[in-house]
Amino acid sequence: MVVLLQPVTFNSDVNVNPKCKPSPVPVPVIDLTDPDAKTHVVKACEELGFFKVINHGVGHDLLTQLEEEANKFFALSQSLKEKAGPPDPFGYGSKRIGSSGDMGWLEYILLNANHHLSFTKTTAVFQQAPVLFREVVEEYMQEMKGMASKVLEMVEEELSIEPKEKLSKLVKVEESDSCLRMNHYPEKEEETPDKEEIGFGEHTDPQLVSVLRSNDTEGLQICLKDGSWVSVPPDHSSFFVSVGDALQVMTNGKFKSVKHRVLTNTKRSRLSMIYFAGPPLTEKIAPLSCLVPKQEERLYKELTWSQYKSYCYKTKLGDYRLSFFEK
């Protein structure tokens, strides 16, 4: 099934720093059915903070259907989409990212993953789309919740984290503050096909881990430890997992939250779906005592997830937000 997207008009003057010339990077590929997967996951979290997941068990039909339904939503008239906006933070948004002036060449929807909480803007998104869209989204979020939990279980086992399920339980519980973001980057205008612009500016994700999938269009880049940007080859059949700020804090910096961005340098539109696995709002985030028993060796102070999340919403995308945690 082919869905023709309705063109969206974007005026962006945010250009890419020419000094940041990306090159391909060998992203670690982890087979979740491999008996040694937990070792590879921890190594990837330590060295890059980012890896690809294969043999993940998520059905191809679900991925195809969700992509089709998302494309249908973004193909709606602008007036219909804007009935689900502006985001607060959930709902439909266009160009403006957050409340601190960040702009990007995209439109998006942000949906809460907690079925026990009702948000007006999330409901408004589904009111503009067929019932099937909501059903597919909810099934997909359950799959992502399972994948994020599995990755964290591997981390727990490899690092001998106690008590059992200390990390994975934060995602599994009903109170988990997780969400799903769908970003649509429209195809470039013909008059400026080679001009690179920022689709989504550089940032780290605040949550524990993020699980990303996109269509087969390039644009995603990650920042290495030396500050250089590298391109991540797209793979619509696999998922990418990135370490978030909360997990960096809980491992006392053993894992690194990876900075990433999306560039628009193609005539093809890009659709990405990111599941942000977050802890309950009241959960205290601090270095795990089983990893760092001595208080004086802990690099970060204790905060609740709600406190850090509220702080993040007030900052710009590129800000170093973890300074709020540092002692």
List b or e across 192-231, with b for residues whose CB sees 16 or more CB atoms inside 10 angstroms. Answer: eeeebbbbbbbbbbbbbbbbbbbbebbbbbbbeeeeebbb
User: Which of 213, 270, 298, 321 is labelled catalytic?
Assistant: 270
By the 8 A CB rule, do 239 and 211 touch? yes
Whether 104 contacts 12, CB under 8 Å: yes
- Cβ atoms of 236 and 215 within 8 Å: the answer is yes
Q: How far apart are CA 187 and CA 107, in angstroms?
A: 12
Side-chain-side CA neighbours of residue 89 (13 Å): 16
CA–CA distance, 134 with 182 (Å, rounded to integer): 13
Instruction: Specify whether the backbone of 89 is left (phi greater than 0), alpha (psi in -120 to 50) or beta.
Output: alpha
* H/E element, 169: helix 168-172
One-letter identity of residue 194: D
Does residue 284 contact residue 303 with C-beta atoms inside 8 Å? yes
d(CA 20, CA 256): 21
Question: Residue 320 contacts by C-beta under 8 Å, 6 or more apart in sequence?
Answer: none
Distances (CA, A) of 43 to 28, 106, 212, 245, 313: 9, 33, 19, 17, 31
Q: Hey, CA dihedral for 69, 72, 77, 78, is it positive or negative?
A: positive
Establish whether 298 is a catalytic residue.
Answer: no
Structure-block tokens of residue 241: 């997992």
Active site residues: 270
